[in-house]
C-alpha cells in the first residue's frame, strides 16, 4: 500500500507538469470521457486517464504545478485523495458500461472526482421531500383530467421553442427554482409566443416564506410566490449568482412574466403526467442522488434509484427509443456538460415512476397577459432611499 501511494505521489509530482494547459481542451473536445478496457489495466493507464480528465475539468490544478508555484504537501495530498476517488469511479463506470442489460451509458463527467456522498450533499437536498410532508401545498383541480384527446406518440417542447438553454445551479441547492422557472418559461412561450429567460435568483433571494434559497425548496411554493408577487423578473434584470442574497426589492418588481397559479398532477399516474406534458413543460421532483445518476452520459436511463425525492427538474417532452422504450425528456440544472447536453432521458414506469418522477408533479397556470415594458417603466417611481413609492421596507 505504501509503495503504491509513493508511486502515485511520484506521478502527481512528475507527470502533472507534462499535462497540456487549459488551451488544450478545445471547444470541440468532449467534456465527458468514456472508460475503455485499456484505461484501467494499470495504475499508469488510470493516471493517464486522470490527466486527460484534469485538462478538461480541473485545469487550475494543472496550472498550479506548471506555473512554478510552491507545491506543498497539503496540495499533493488533496490531489492524491481526488485521484483515488476518480480511480474508484472510473472502475465503477467501466463495470457498468460492460453490462448488456442496460440502455444507458455512464461517463467521467465533471463530478468524476467526487465520492457519491459528497456529490449528494452538494447537488441534492431532502428539503423538497420535507417541505411536502409539512403539508398544505395543493394546487387547484387538474385541468387536463377530462382531456379525451389521444395522447401524442412524442412531444418535445424544445423543438417548439418553449425551452431556454440549459442552465447551471452551481454549488447552491436551488434546483427547485430552476425547475419552477423552466415550467413558467414554457407556459409563457406557449401563451404569449415569447421565450423569455427568467430569474431563478429572484426566487432564491425573495421567496423565503417557506422555501429556503440555496438550502432547498419546493416548486409549488415558488409558483405561489410568483402569482402573489404579481410576476417574476427576467434573468437579465435579476441575474443568477448561486448564492443567498438579500432580496433586491427593485428587481423583484420588474415583472416580465405573470402567472395566475398552479395545479398539481394526480400522483402516481403516468397517463395524467403525459397529458400534462402534452400541453406544457411540467416541474417534477425525483431522487437524483444515486451514483448512476451522478455519472449519466447518454441513452435511456433506467438505473437504480429510489423515491427519496431530493432534486427538482422539469419534464419538457416524452418519446420512444428505437428499441421501443418510452421515456421522459428531462431538463436538468447541472449545466450542459452533464448528460445529453444537460438533459436526461428517463424510462417511463407506472405507479411512482422511475426515481419517483410520478409522485410530485405540478405546472403553472396562465391566462393573464404580461405587463408591457412601458407599464413596467411607469411603475418604477423611486424615493431618495432607492425604494419604490408605497413599497415596504422588507419583502
Which of 253, 255, 311, 318 is catalytic? The answer is 311
**Is 14 noted as a catalytic residue in this protein?**
no
**Is 60 noted as a catalytic residue in this protein?**
no
The full 3-state SS of the chain, as one line of letters, equals CHHHHHHHHHHHHHHHHHCCCHHHCCCCCCCCECCCHHHHCCHHHHHHHHHHHHHHHCHHHHHHHHCCCCCCHHHHHHHHHHHHHHHHHHHHHHHHHCCCCCCEEECECCCCCCCHHHHHHHHCCCHHHHHHHCCCCCCECCCCCCCCCCCCCCEECCCCCCCCCCCECCCCECHHHHHHHHHHHHHHHHHHCCCCCECHHHHHHHCCCCCCCCECCCHHHHHHHHHHHCCECECCCCCCCCCCCCCCHHHHCCCCECCCEEEECCCCCHHHHHHHHCCCCEEEEECCCCHHHHCEEEEEECCCCCCCCCEEEEEEEEEECCCCCEEEEEECCECCCCCECCEEEEECCCCCCHHHCCCCEEEEECCCCCCCHHHHHHHCCECCCCCECCCCCCC
**Is 332 noted as a catalytic residue in this protein?**
yes
Which of 175, 206, 305, 355 is catalytic? The answer is 175
Which of 188, 211, 332, 370 is catalytic? The answer is 332
Q: Catalytic site residues?
A: 175, 311, 332
Amino acid at each position: 500500500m505504501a509503495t503504491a501511494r509513493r508511486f502515485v505521489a511520484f506521478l502527481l509530482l512528475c507527470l502533472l507538469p507534462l499535462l497540456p494547459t487549459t488551451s488544450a481542451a478545445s471547444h470541440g473536445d468532449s467534456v465527458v470521457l468514456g472508460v475503455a478496457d485499456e484505461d484501467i489495466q494499470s495504475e499508469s493507464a488510470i493516471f493517464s486517464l486522470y490527466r486527460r480528465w484534469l485538462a478538461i475539468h480541473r485545469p487550475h490544478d494543472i496550472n498550479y504545478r506548471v506555473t512554478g508555484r510552491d507545491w506543498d504537501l497539503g496540495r499533493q495530498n488533496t490531489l492524491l485523495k481526488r485521484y483515488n476517488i476518480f480511480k474508484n469511479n472510473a472502475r465503477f463506470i467501466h463495470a457498468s458500461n460492460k453490462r448488456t442489460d442496460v440502455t444507458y451509458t455512464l461517463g467521467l463527467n465533471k463530478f468524476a472526482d467526487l465520492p457519491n456522498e459528497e456529490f449528494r450533499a452538494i447537488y441534492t437536498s431532502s428539503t423538497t421531500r420535507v417541505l411536502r410532508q409539512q403539508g398544505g401545498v395543493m394546487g387547484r383541480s387538474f385541468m387536463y383530467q377530462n382531456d379525451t384527446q389521444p395522447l401524442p406518440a412524442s412531444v418535445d417542447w424544445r423543438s417548439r421553442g418553449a425551452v431556454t438553454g440549459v442552465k447551471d445551479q452551481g454549488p447552491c441547492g436551488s434546483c427547485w427554482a430552476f425547475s419552477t422557472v423552466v415550467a413558467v418559461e414554457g407556459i409563457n412561450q406557449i401563451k404569449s409566443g415569447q421565450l423569455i429567460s427568467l430569474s431563478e435568483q429572484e426566487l432564491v433571494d425573495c421567496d423565503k416564506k417557506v422555501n429556503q434559497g440555496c438550502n432547498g425548496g419546493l416548486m409549488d411554493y415558488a409558483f405561489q410566490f410568483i402569482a402573489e408577487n404579481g410576476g417574476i423578473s427576467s434573468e437579465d434584470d435579476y441575474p443568477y449568482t448561486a448564492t443567498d442574497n438579500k432580496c433586491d426589492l427593485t428587481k423583484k418588481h420588474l415583472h416580465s412574466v405573470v402567472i395566475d397559479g398552479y395545479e398539481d398532477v394526480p400522483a402516481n399516474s403516468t397517463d395524467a403526467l403525459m397529458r400534462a406534458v402534452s400541453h406544457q413543460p411540467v416541474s417534477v421532483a425525483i431522487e437524483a442522488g444515486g451514483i448512476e445518476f451522478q455519472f449519466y452520459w447518454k441513452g435511456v436511463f433506467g438505473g437504480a434509484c429510489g423515491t427519496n425525492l431530493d432534486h427538482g427538474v422539469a419534464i419538457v417532452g416524452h418519446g420512444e427509443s428505437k428499441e421501443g422504450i418510452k421515456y421522459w425528456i428531462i431538463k436538468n440544472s447541472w449545466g450542459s456538460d452533464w448528460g445529453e447536453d444537460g438533459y436526461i432521458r428517463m424510462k417511463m414506469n407506472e405507479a411512482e415512476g422511475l426515481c419517483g418522477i410520478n409522485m410530485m408533479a405540478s405546472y403553472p397556470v396562465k391566462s393573464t397577459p404580461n405587463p408591457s415594458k412601458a407599464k413596467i417603466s411607469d411603475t418604477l417611481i423611486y424615493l431618495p432611499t432607492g425604494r419604490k413609492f408605497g413599497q415596504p421596507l422588507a419583502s
